[in-house]
Amino acid sequence: MQIRYNTLGTCASRIDIEIDNGVIQSAAFIDGCAGNTQAVGALVKGMAVEEAIRRLKGIACQGDTSCPDQLARALEQALL
């Protein structure tokens, strides 16, 4: 499953995610802080969607959201 999620409230403008059988195959952030977003993408690769949501949801940066939180929100939508 391919997901293209337009973010809100973060430096990254979009997250492109690939999920296969409930496991994240890739997560690429468009724009944002390159080192941090590449690290988040590398860390969630191979992780179960539910586990990534549990770990990332609610992390705040500049306000009440962050790139990791936006990834969790995108993954939650994918489960619907």
Q: Could you state, in order of their start, the residue ranges of all structural domains in the chain?
A: 2-79
The pLDDT of residue 36 is: 94
pTM: 0.95
DSSP state for residue 4 in the 8-state scheme: E
The pLDDT of residue 62 is: 82
**Structure tokens that stand for 15 in this block:** 């997250």
Instruction: Please state which CATH number belongs to domain 2-79.
Output: 3.30.390
Q: Which residue has the tokens 């940066």?
A: 61
DSSP 18-74: EEETTEEEEEEEEES-HHHHHHHHHHHTT-BHHHHHHHHTT--SSSS--HHHHHHHH
pLDDT tens digits in sequence order for the chain, 80 residues long: 999 999 999 999 999 999 999 999 999 999 999 999 999 999 999 999 999 999 999 999 989 999 999 999 999 999 98
